[in-house]
Amino acid sequence: MAPAIHLGPDAPEHLANAIEAGGGTLTPLEDAEAVVWVGSPDDLPELPASVKWVQLQSAGIEHWVERVRATPGVTFTTAAGAYAAQVAEHALGLLIAGIRNFNQYARAWSWDPQDGGQLAGSTVAVIGAGGIGRALIKRLEPHDVKILAVTRSGRDGTIPVERIGEIWGQADHFVLCAPATDETRHLIGAPELWVMKPHTWIVNIARGSLIDTEALVNALSTRIIGGAALDVTDPEPLPNGHPLWASPHALITPHVANTESTMARDLADRVQENVRRYAAGEELLAPVDLGAGY
């Protein structure tokens, strides 16, 4: 029997089609056993007892933690990993742009060649080897780099997070792909920046809170590291006049690694697959684990 699924607060056609393609039937909330929600936590109404599963459109859960905690007995799933390919592509672009001085050339008003670095032969630390991290590693492999992957578990040849202190002075460059949790807040601050190499570039496509912004501004202004390429910032949006805008050693994109057009496509694919799995009684993709913080 096709599961009864409510789509809200709006009903975009591409997601309605995805639910039906996955084997579900669209239904009002009061009759639903599952919900695909594309709104905010505050907009989600009280769920009827019949609802056992809620699919979210976001990859992170930092805004959903309290609502998930207050809704026991309901499985929440995120879109974690669904947007991995496009975000990884953006991260690789930012890394190469920083290493090759694109940030300074884009600001230049005169012909001023500089001696830039190169990605090949460097050591790149990928912090967080979930969907985005794995997709980035796949894209880094053809570039003749040594990869240090940091994960919570340390399985499959990765470095466990307990040993993360070892990598700050080892790697040439860092890409942050970790979730925003209490444990990852200010993962990179003054002590970590101080031991990095002077040519190091930091790329953050995860969450702005992973970096201590004040410490980063100081590190860039005193040339402790080579630069920072940021698609996410803290605060976000980055205010007009913030020192990072003026830094010639910062490259900033306005949280566009996950573009709207491809996000719609990838979310529809995730919704269709998870509806299919739900209908078949299979394990759902990206269930929320409050203990882990994502």
Residue 155 Cα distances to 118, 139, 144, 293, angstroms: 30, 21, 23, 19
Rounded Cα distance between 40 and 43, Å, is 5
Residues of the chain scoring pLDDT < 70: none
Say if residue 191 is in the same domain as residue 118. Answer: yes
* Residue 213 Cα to chain centre, angstroms: 18
Asked if 177 and 130 count as a contact pair (C-beta separation under 8 A), the reply is yes
Is residue 17 assigned to a domain?
yes
Please tell me the predicted confidence (pLDDT) of residue 15.
97
Say if residue 266 is in the same domain as residue 226. Answer: no
Is residue 294 assigned to a domain?
no
Is 173 an annotated catalytic residue?
Answer: no
Say if residue 68 is in the same domain as residue 144. Answer: no
Is residue 290 assigned to a domain?
no
Is residue 227 assigned to a domain?
yes
Is residue 135 assigned to a domain?
yes
Is 236 an annotated catalytic residue?
Answer: yes
Say if residue 46 is in the same domain as residue 109. Answer: no
- Name the catalytic one among 186, 255, 265, 276: 255
Is residue 126 assigned to a domain?
yes
Say if residue 179 is in the same domain as residue 216. Answer: yes
- Name the catalytic one among 173, 207, 249, 270: 207
Rounded Cα distance between 125 and 161, Å, is 12
Say if residue 163 is in the same domain as residue 269. Answer: no
Length of the chain measured in residues: 294
What sign for the dihedral angle of Cα 172, 177, 183, 186? positive
Rounded Cα distance between 213 and 216, Å, is 5
Q: Which domain holds residue 244?
A: 84-252
Say if residue 24 is in the same domain as residue 100. Answer: no
**How many domains does one find in the chain?**
2
CATH of the domain at 53: 3.40.50.720
Say if residue 268 is in the same domain as residue 240. Answer: no
Is residue 232 assigned to a domain?
yes
- Name the catalytic one among 236, 242, 273, 277: 236
Is residue 291 assigned to a domain?
no
